[in-house]
Structure 1
Amino acid sequence: MVKDCNGRNPEFHNSCFVAETASVIGKVVMKENASLWYGVIARGDYNDIYIGKGTNIQDGSVIHIAFNHPTVIGDYVTVGHNAVIHGCHIEDEALIGMGAIILNGATIGSKSIIAAGSLVPEGKEIPPGVLAMGSPAKVVRNLTEDEKKNIRLSAEDYIGFAKEHKKEI
């Protein structure tokens, strides 16, 4: 379902994939090759959601905003299944693990990984190039160069998967 809300309209590049069971409401801007998978809810009813190029939001995830915090997700980001992304900023080439929760005003640095099931509390800043985990999330180590490269490769894999799914719709 794709719908306007409060005079706010979704905007998709024509290369994007939005699964037929995803719900996109209000001002949700998707750049080239971004994808919203099955059961995703992206609700930009009172503020903006921006999803960068090559970014994938996997099945069952929820993306929402706060009145004073848009949600900005950079380029080539992977958001794992059933994550909650709320009023935060995720920089380029980050990976958000399955079931992770990122709250209002938090910032996830580029080329960082938030481990599955982690909670990043309001206003928390996770620096670039690290692994953070736990509830509340804490930095546990720096990522290796291979781990940083694999974040981008994961996003690129999903660009290919999205093209296949788009053909079948």
Structure 2
Amino acid sequence: MALIKSVRGYTPQIHDSCFLAENATIVGEVSLGANCTVWFNAVVRGDVHSIRIGENTNIQDGAIIHCTYQKAKTVIGKNVSIAHGAIVHGCTVEDNVLIGMGAIIMDDAVIRKGSVIAAGAIILPGTIVEENSIYAGVPAVKVKDTSDKMHEVIARTAKNYPMYAEWYK
């Protein structure tokens, strides 16, 4: 069973349809929408500010979701895929976004809908990622617009993770 821990009077609010891997950690002021999945060794730590995650979002193995005390909450939309080892910190991620493996999204950044953050990219504090765009590099910059094919990949990835979770139930 996942570690679900209350802190500072806040208890995570987790929809009944969510899948949490046995060693996932969910702490504090966290809200998970329907059909979210939080995978092995992932941490969603709402101890210092709030974290809101929309439906059908997957937080893959080893990802870290956190925020900044009295400064930056984390808001993640629906149909978002946060890949293995990514760090999403004190920022806003809109709907239908794919964040690649090992990417880092820093405080006060905004990732607009339909976008992709490439594996290993670092989104600096306060960066506004354009809607329907792909950002890559360190620091990340826009490399191109997302294609229809990429939008299909974003949708398919978000759709597949609840199916994968069924294999573990």
Fold equivalence (TM over 0.5)? yes
Give me the whole-angstrom Cα distance separating, in 2, the residues matched to 1:5 and 1:80.
Answer: 26
Q: In the TM superposition, what are the counterparts of 1:1-169 in structure 2 within 5 Å?
A: 1-67=3-69, 68-165=71-168, 167=169
Give me the whole-angstrom Cα distance separating, in 2, the residues matched to 1:149 and 1:116.
Answer: 18
Can you give the 5+ residue segments of structure 1 that lack an aligned partner in the other structure?
Answer: none
Q: Specify the code of the residue in structure 2 equivalent to 1:100.
A: A
Give me the whole-angstrom Cα distance separating, in 1, the residues matched to 2:122 and 2:98.
Answer: 14
Q: TM-score, normalised on structure 2?
A: 0.96
Give me the whole-angstrom Cα distance separating, in 2, the residues matched to 1:164 and 1:28.
Answer: 25
- 3-state SS of 1:164 partner: helix
Can you give the 5+ residue segments of structure 2 that lack an aligned partner in the other structure?
Answer: none
Give me the whole-angstrom Cα distance separating, in 1, the residues matched to 2:155 and 2:11.
Answer: 29
Please state how far the C-alpha of 1:117 moved relative to its aligned partner. 0.3
- 3-state SS of 2:150 partner: helix
- 3-state SS of 1:152 partner: helix
Please state how far the C-alpha of 1:149 moved relative to its aligned partner. 2.1
Aligned residues: 166
